[in-house]
Amino acid sequence: MITQKTKYALKALTVLADEKAGDAAALRIEEIAERSGAPKRFLEHILLDLKRAGLIGSRRGRKGGYEMIKEPRKVSLAEVLRLIDGPMAPLPCLSRKAYQRCEDCKDEQTCRVRAVFGSFYATYILMIESLTVADLQRDARSLESFGLPDPAAGE
C-alpha cells in the first residue's frame, strides 16, 4: 500500500505534468496544492524531495514556482515510490536497492516465504516500473477492467 505522502507526490507530479503539456509557466505551491488536493504544509517537503531528485525544478521571481523538468513518460512510478517511501520489496532479502539478509533465514535458496513473495514481487515490480507519470495523465481506466469495485456503487 502506498502512503498518503506518495499519493500527494504523484498528484503533484500529475498537476505539473499537465501544466508542462500546456507549456505554461511554473506553478506556485498554492496552485499545486489546490489542483492536487494536497495540503500545502505537506507539499512543501514533498516538492523539495522531488526537486532534489531532479524530477522537478523551481524558478524564482514573479513568474516563479515549480515546474516539471523531466519528461512525464520518463518518470516511473517506481522511482517516485522509492524516493518517497523507500524500498518497495515486501522482504529485505528481495530488495534490489536495499538488500539485507533476513536474520532468521538459514538458506535464501530454499526459503518458502521468500519464494512466494519473490514471485509476487517480481510481477509487481515489472508492472510498476513500466508505469509512468504520463500514465497518470491519461483518463482513468474503468475500475471494472481491473476487477475493482466502483466506489460510487456502494458495497
- Domains of the chain: which residue ranges? 4-68
What is the widest separation between alpha-carbon atoms in the chain?
61
Instruction: Provide the whole-model pTM.
Output: 0.81
- Class of CATH domain 4-68: mainly alpha
Residue whose C-alpha cell reads 524500498 in the numeric block:
87
Q: What is the pLDDT of residues 90-132, one digit of tens each?
A: 888 988 888 888 888 888 888 999 999 898 899 999 999 999 9
Cα–Cα distance measured from residue 25 to residue 19, given in angstroms and rounded to the nearest whole number: 8
Dihedrals φ, ψ of 60, to 5°?
A: -95, 165
The residues pairing with 27 across neighbouring beta strands, listed in sequence order, are 66
At 56, give phi and psi (nearest 5°). -130, 165
